[in-house]
């Protein structure tokens, strides 16, 4: 069975934007109720592709307003 992954994005900034959009969609679909759930979803989405500060920024950006 072939992997179900998106093709590589040629630009690092574009890849970061793509990861953020994917994480936001997953957080929204999961209807998260805690900051830990958001963090877990982002962790799985970025899969060691970003540094710690970028990871924290993505979590802050995709967390629903009710969790901020």
User: What is the tens place of the pLDDT at every residue in 19-61?
Assistant: 999 999 999 999 888 999 999 999 999 988 899 999 999 999 9
As given in the structure block, the two tokens for residue 13 are: 């900034």
Mean pLDDT of 1-19: 75
Task: Locate the domains of the chain by residue range.
Answer: 33-68
Which residues neighbour 42 within 8 Å (Cβ) at sequence distance 6 or greater? 23, 27, 55, 58, 59, 62
The pLDDT of residue 13: 87
- Residue 39 contacts residue 52 (beta carbons within 8 Å): no
Inter-axis angle of helices 35-46 and 12-30, to 10 degrees? 140
Residue 25: CB atoms within 10 A of its CB come to: 13
**pTM score:** 0.78
């Amino acid at each position: 069975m072939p992997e179900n992954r998106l093709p590589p994005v040629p630009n690092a900034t574009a890849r970061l934007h793509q990861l953020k959009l994917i994480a936001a969609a997953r957080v929204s679909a999961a209807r998260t109720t805690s900051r830990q759930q958001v963090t877990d979803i982002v962790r799985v989405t970025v899969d060691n592709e970003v540094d710690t500060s970028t990871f924290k920024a993505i979590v802050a950006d995709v967390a629903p307003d009710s969790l901020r």
